Amino acid sequence: MNSDSEAEELFQRAIQRFRELQRERPQEIGAFVEYLKHARADGALSAKTKELMSLAISLATHCIPCVIWHTRMSLKRGASRNEILETALVAIGMGGGLAYTQTMYLLEALEAWEKALEEDNAKA
């Protein structure tokens, strides 16, 4: 990924493919999506904290689409750049060099969506 649109393109492709799977297996995927709505909602932990946890797990498990998705969702849940970078450091501490290599995707996605958020805020 080396342009702002590549993170968004991968994000949109992932959504499209997940929707295809949901059309083919609506009961199972529907149940999973419903579970995620409840699991990621505010509770004893904030939705933002849960999103940052998901990002750390994505880095540690080397899931590139997940890193991109959870970077975007962390921003949408109100996480700051500093909170996201600290999350990456925790993941690197737990996942070592392989988690470290995934931060390139996090940084590229973060830069793309920070820029988009700035543009949206300027329009408002």
pLDDT tens digits for 28-63? 999 999 999 999 999 999 999 999 999 999 999 999
Please state, in angstroms and rounded to a whole number, the distance separating the CA atoms of residues 95 and 18. Answer: 27
46 DSSP assignment: -
Question: What is the extent of the structural domain holding 36?
Answer: 4-123
Handedness of CA 72, 75, 79, 85 (dihedral sign): positive
**Smallest Cα–Cα separation from 85: which of 72, 98, 103, 69?**
103
Q: What is the pLDDT of residue 40?
A: 93
Check: CB of residue 72 under 8 Å from CB of residue 113: yes
Q: How many domains does the chain have?
A: 1
Site of tokens 């450091």: 89
Q: What is the pLDDT of residue 19?
A: 93
Q: Which portions of the chain are predicted below pLDDT 50? A: 1-3
Q: What is the pLDDT of residue 3?
A: 45
